[in-house]
Amino acid sequence: MKIFITIIFSLLLVGCPKNEEGGFTSLSKGNLFGNGAEGFDKENIVISSKKEWKSFLLKIDTTNKESSTFENAIDFSKEMIVICVDKVRNSGGFSVEIIEVIKEEGTTLIKVKFKSPKPMDMVTSVIIQPYHIVKINKTIKKIKFLEL
């Protein structure tokens, strides 16, 4: 009986998917504090090569060493990076989050949620630029972004 239970639990552990939510793995989510020095506008970025990734890492590390906070080992033969960057904000309380990746016929839809503080919320007095970086399976489909 112990062997049977051990085999069942072993199969369950092997069969569990890696930490993926909604078709993606989150690499980093936070705020840039360079007052826009990194050179990002409000934009969505798709990276599918090591060269593009290195260029992005140099840009995001302009003011702070943000890239040291997330995984850099990406297999670009199987994976790609999707990045959402919000515009520069003059207070805290703002965020951007990729909440779902939906594979449709001919396209991959990336759902992005932008959050802002309510008028009476207490927020920090700091200049920030929210971002979210995720890893998805490589695709040749057109990638579309849907802001919620």
- Virtual torsion, Cα 4, 7, 11, 14, nearest 10 deg: 160
pLDDT bin (cut points 50, 70, 90) of residue 63 is confident
Judge whether 132 and 29 are in contact, CB under 8 Å: yes
Range of the domain at 69: 19-147
Provide the 8-state DSSP code for 53.
H
Q: pLDDT digit string (tens) for 1-12?
A: 545 444 444 444
Q: Does some domain include residue 98?
A: yes
3-state secondary structure of 98: strand
Question: Is residue 4 assigned to a domain?
Answer: no
| Number of domains the chain contains | 1
Query: Is residue 14 in a domain?
Result: no
Nearest-angstrom CA–CA distance, 60 and 16: 33
Mean pLDDT score, 42-58: 95
Question: What is the gyration radius of the CA atoms in the chain, in angstroms?
Answer: 18
Q: For residue 118, is it within any domain?
A: yes
Is the pTM value of this prediction over 0.75? yes
In this structure, is residue 6 part of a structural domain?
no
Signed CA dihedral, 46, 81, 66, 22: sign only: positive
